[in-house]
């Protein structure tokens, strides 16, 4: 029989997802290219959980991404490209 | 036997929106470990980067119960949590204490060795970034020889303490080393540790790009180079049986060391000395005198 864990949380579980800490730090963002073979390795290497697998597909949540570039560096197919965040005078946050 | 990434849990129990730096090795270690441990887990973390990037008491990135302990007592708190669970008859919960290299090998050592001696039913994880990064990168006992830190500008003069051998000497159920560059190996070790009835110790090499003075995107790459060069051995000691889980390809240690900012002052004699010690350790000859 599964009993509920004896927990009195002081913060709602996972509440930082709504207000991610590092979103304004990002100076480059990843883009998944067409030659991705869905090996899913980047889902385990992303520190921020910005790339996750959902039903066999990669889902990129830019809201969570800090733009560290680990995914692009580790991708064996070179299927992830880092693109500078500020293009032109007025930069745009996605 | 072999785990595939597609079969892993889809739950994101830790890491989304965390407060750490971009490219944080500790966060990678946490995410990979939580894929193995699952939602029926209680985690205690002493003062460390891992505690702060979990969030303050108003917001948190953890989806599981997370207790921020004082610095020297995470394994002791975990022991108490296990005792409380046992008193209530709850058996399906993993109790984990997760400390940095200071919370494990230095200030946290007395509670760790006590919990290991009592063979408490819990897992202790040391995520090792080889410095006291949360307080500004000072030298600790897990800092490797020659590494420059914020309080040792000429590099550390003595060797890194072999924490895995110390824990092995406690004759606990399971001792393993892991690296964030080999996630499936790490996850397999966590799954094994979770099934043990006694104390398990897992030592994860989790580079900190700030302290190691490497580019943020190369965090995983350096965790891999450390293993491939033979400087960090991936192995497990399962009930006293030692087994190397990954055979390194033995790239020259210079490839790993000299590109890091903290080792940029290394002389060629020091590199040769380190290479020789690796060759001796792995029983590889062919090193001309």
> What DSSP line would sit under B55-94, residue for residue?
--SS--S-SS-EEE--TT-HHHHHHHHHHHHHHHT--S-E
pLDDT range class, residue B289, cuts 50, 70, 90? very low
Cα distance from B238 to chain A (closest Cα, Å)? 25
User: Is residue B182 one of the residues assigned to a domain?
Assistant: yes
Which residues from chain A sit within 8 angstroms of residue B88, using beta carbons?
3, 6
A27, closest residue in chain B (CA to CA)? B22
User: Is residue A19 one of the residues assigned to a domain?
Assistant: no
B5, B8, B16, B224: best mutation site toward chain A, by most A Cβ within 10 Å? B16
Question: Over the stretch B134-143, which tens digit does the pLDDT of each residue have?
Answer: 998 999 999 9
Provide the domain limits for residue B85. Answer: 12-281
The SS3 call for residue B246 is: coil
Question: Over the stretch B71-123, which tens digit does the pLDDT of each residue have?
Answer: 999 999 999 999 999 999 999 999 999 999 999 999 999 999 999 999 999 99
Question: Over the stretch B206-265, which tens digit does the pLDDT of each residue have?
Answer: 999 999 999 999 999 999 999 999 999 999 999 999 999 999 999 999 999 999 999 999
B8, B22, B50, B221: best mutation site toward chain A, by most A Cβ within 10 Å? B22
Asked if residue A86 lies in contact with residue A27, where contact means CB atoms within 8 angstroms, the answer is yes
Number of folded domains that form chain A: 1
> ipTM score of the complex?
0.89
Q: How far apart are CA B16 and CA A21, in angstroms?
A: 9
Under DSSP, the state recorded for A58 is E
CB-nearest to B5 from A18, A44, A68 is A44
Give yes or no for A70 touching B (CB within 8 A).
yes
Q: Is the pLDDT of residue B153 over 50?
A: yes
User: Is residue B87 one of the residues assigned to a domain?
Assistant: yes
Give yes or no for B241 touching A (CB within 8 A).
no
CATH number at residue A67: 3.30.70.20
User: Is residue A91 one of the residues assigned to a domain?
Assistant: no
Provide the domain limits for residue A44. Answer: 26-84
User: Is residue A35 one of the residues assigned to a domain?
Assistant: yes
Sign of CA dihedral B75, B179, B17, A40: negative
């Amino acid at each position: 029989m599964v009993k509920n864990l004896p927990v009195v949380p002081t913060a709602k579980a996972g509440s930082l997802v709504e207000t991610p800490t590092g979103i304004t730090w990002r100076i480059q963002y990843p883009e998944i290219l067409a030659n991705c073979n869905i090996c899913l390795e980047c889902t385990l290497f992303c520190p921020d959980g910005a790339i996750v697998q959902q039903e066999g597909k990669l889902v990129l949540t830019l809201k969570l991404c800090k733009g560290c570039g680990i995914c692009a560096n580790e991708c064996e197919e070179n299927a992830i490209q880092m693109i500078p965040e500020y293009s032109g005078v007025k930069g745009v946050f996605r | 036997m072999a785990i595939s990434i597609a079969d892993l849990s889809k739950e994101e129990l830790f890491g989304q929106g965390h407060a750490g730096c971009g490219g944080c090795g500790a966060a990678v270690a946490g995410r990979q470990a939580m894929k193995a441990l699952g939602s029926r887990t209680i985690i205690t973390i002493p003062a460390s980067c891992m505690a702060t990037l979990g969030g303050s008491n108003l917001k948190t990135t953890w989806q599981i119960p997370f207790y921020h302990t004082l610095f020297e007592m995470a394994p002791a708190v975990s022991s108490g949590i296990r005792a409380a669970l046992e008193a209530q008859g709850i058996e399906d919960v993993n109790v984990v204490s997760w400390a940095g290299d200071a919370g494990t090998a230095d200030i946290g050592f007395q509670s760790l060795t006590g919990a290991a001696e009592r063979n408490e039913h819990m897992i202790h994880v040391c995520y090792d970034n080889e410095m006291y990064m949360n307080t500004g990168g000072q030298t600790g006992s897990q800092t490797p020889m020659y590494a420059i830190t914020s309080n040792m500008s000429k590099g550390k003069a003595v060797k890194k303490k072999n924490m895995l051998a110390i824990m092995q000497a406690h004759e606990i159920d399971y001792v393993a080393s892991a690296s964030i560059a080999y996630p499936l190996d790490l996850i397999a070790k966590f799954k094994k540790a979770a099934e043990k009835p006694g104390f398990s110790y897992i030592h994860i090499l989790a580079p900190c790009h700030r302290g190691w003075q490497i580019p943020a995107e190369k965090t995983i790459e350096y965790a891999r180079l450390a293993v491939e060069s033979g400087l960090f051995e991936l192995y497990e000691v399962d009930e006293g049986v030692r087994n190397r889980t990954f055979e390194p390809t033995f790239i020259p240690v210079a490839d790993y060391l000299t590109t890091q900012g903290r080792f940029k002052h290394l002389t060629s004699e020091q590199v040769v000395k380190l290479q020789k010690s690796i060759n001796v350790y792995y029983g590889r000859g062919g090193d001309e005198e």
